[in-house]
Amino acid sequence: MFNKSIFKQQRLKFMFINLLAFTIIFTIFSVIIFSQVQSTLYTKTDEELLSMKEKVLDEDEGFGEGNFKPTPGEQNVPPNNHPRRNPNPRIIVLNWDQSGQIINEAEIGTAYYENYFQDYELDITNTDNITTTTIHDAYHFRYILFKDNNPNDDVAYIQLMINVDAEQTIIANFVKLVTICSIIFIVLSISASIILSNKMMKPIIASWNKQTEFVENASHELRTPLTIIQNKLEMMLTAPNKRIADKFENIALSLSETRRLSKLTSDLLTLARADSAETELVLKEVHVDSFIETVCAPYKEIADSQNKQFWLNVKSQVTIRADESRLHQLFVILLDNALKYTRENDSIGVKAYTEDQKIVFEISDTGIGIKNENMKYIFDRFYREDKARSRETGGMGLGLSIAHWIVTKHKGTIKVMKNQHQGTTFIVKLPK
Ligand code: ADP
């Protein structure tokens, strides 16, 4: 219940963050494209307006100095009402007088003037800047308004205008396209956010569940020996006058449970440190053959004492870079198991050889073996094939998890298979 609401909250948070990130990226992207399209569309128009403005001002300057010269073929018109030459058919020139009236309606064309500019008013708030205006709420013009320099005419302001309805249509279509794309994008990004947040949460949920299971198992494993010790101590307290010799069994059992507890806590600590990636390997050169011989020596003695054969076949003659104490721990786990899960007259063997760029260790026994269907679980934490039997042998199902971690940390592999005749073989491969 608690987990579910936390995961739900976290999932929503991830979803919201993803959605926000997508939206910000898309908005920036659209704004850049939109402003780029708009400025590109108006660039040509604006250039035309500016070049025309320059021409007009140049002409006016000529008039101002009193050296107006009509171009050949043009009538000699008095300078104060001469028709302006307009080499650009796209540009409409509006001449405004001081009172805000258009005084060149004939030049514009009477019909054109009456249709579009009759009600148009002079707006001098924005001079010398290119701006967009809309006439009759339908016709869009790009224009520049500037003061007239010619003192010899009645013109106070000149306004150069270009109709940009075509450009506006393109922009309007583009806005429509961006809006449709935004809607599609929002739908897509919501779906993508849901999928992504689910994907992001999956490993978190899995590792949370694993961690919870680990803590539950660990508490369970810790509780059993503690209960046994508590019971035994309480029983001894009921007869305080008895001698130690009389309570020998209780004391021995309590001691063995204490050892179990101590081993369990140290295994749990190893795995907890492995999980938090806290433990680093201390690598050094290890001569494989002599290392194995040293590790196996005490096991050979124990095997002899239990009437089991112990054989060694180590002729690799290689040196590897490894953490010697971790490698030792690995062999102890595998050899302990080999001893635990074999009976009298069984045999245990250790082989080391090189294969490609790897060194291979095989630890095999002719013991009770592992059922095929259980092989995939044996590296799981707290997995024991036979829980009752493992309790007798002192196993808690953590050894092989630690072995797996040690091998993986050395960038190697570990696998288990049936021994040729009977029993189990563990094959460890480490890089040379
Ligand atoms: P345990 O402490 O119980 O031995 P391990 O993680 O070392 O825990 O082993 C997990 C389980 O794998 C054991 O409980 C046992 O069932 C099985 N197993 C491990 N090694 C052997 C082996 N050599 N022969 C048979 N079964 C084995």
pLDDT at 115: 81
pLDDT at 45: 92
Beta bridge partners of 274: none
Token look-up 């201390």 returns 282
pLDDT at 403: 97
pLDDT at 318: 92
Which residue puts its alpha carbon closest to atom 4 of ligand 1?
A: 395
Crossing angle of helices 165-238 and 2-64, in 10° steps, is 160
Same domain, 34 and 147: yes
* C-alpha span between 411 and 406 (Å, rounded): 9
pLDDT at 66: 44
Task: Report how far ligand 1's centroid is from the alpha carbon of 314 (Å).
Answer: 24
Same domain, 212 and 290: no
Helix, strand or coil, per DSSP, at residue 352: strand
Which residue puts its alpha carbon closest to atom 21 of ligand 1?
A: 337
Same domain, 302 and 321: yes
Same domain, 50 and 167: yes
pLDDT at 69: 45
Same domain, 134 and 225: no
Question: Does residue 188 lie within any of the structural domains?
Answer: no
Task: Report how far ligand 1's centroid is from the alpha carbon of 58 (Å).
Answer: 100
Question: Does residue 390 lie within any of the structural domains?
Answer: yes
Domain boundary among 249, 275, 301: 275
Same domain, 270 and 289: no
Helix, strand or coil, per DSSP, at residue 95: strand
- Let me know: does 155 contact 144? Beta carbons within 8 Å: no
Same domain, 102 and 165: yes
Mean pLDDT of successive 10-residue stretches along the chain, which has 432 residues? 72 85 88 87 91 85 50 46 68 91 86 83 90 88 90 88 90 89 87 86 85 86 90 89 86 91 91 83 94 95 96 92 95 96 95 93 95 93 78 79 96 94 94 88
User: pTM of the full predicted structure?
Assistant: 0.63
Question: Does residue 80 lie within any of the structural domains?
Answer: no
Task: Read off the DSSP letter of residue 246.
Answer: G
* C-alpha span between 159 and 312 (Å, rounded): 104
- Let me know: does 267 contact 396? Beta carbons within 8 Å: yes
CA angle, residues 13, 16, 17, in degrees to nearest 5: 85
Which residue puts its alpha carbon closest to atom 7 of ligand 1?
A: 399
CA distance to 46, 225, 380, per residue, from 260 (Å) = 88, 7, 20
Same domain, 291 and 270: no
Crossing angle of helices 248-275 and 165-238, in 10° steps, is 170
pLDDT at 71: 47
* C-alpha span between 300 and 420 (Å, rounded): 22
Question: Does residue 218 lie within any of the structural domains?
Answer: yes
Number of domains observed in the structure of the chain: 3
Instruction: Supply the range of the domain harboring residue 138.
Output: 2-63+88-173
Same domain, 313 and 269: no
pLDDT at 389: 62
Same domain, 22 and 40: yes
Q: What are phi and psi of 160, to 5 degrees?
A: -105, 130
Task: Report how far ligand 1's centroid is from the alpha carbon of 403 (Å).
Answer: 11
Question: Does residue 81 lie within any of the structural domains?
Answer: no
Same domain, 9 and 137: yes
Same domain, 45 and 131: yes
CA distance to 14, 54, 66, 192, 231, per residue, from 183 (Å) = 21, 45, 63, 14, 70
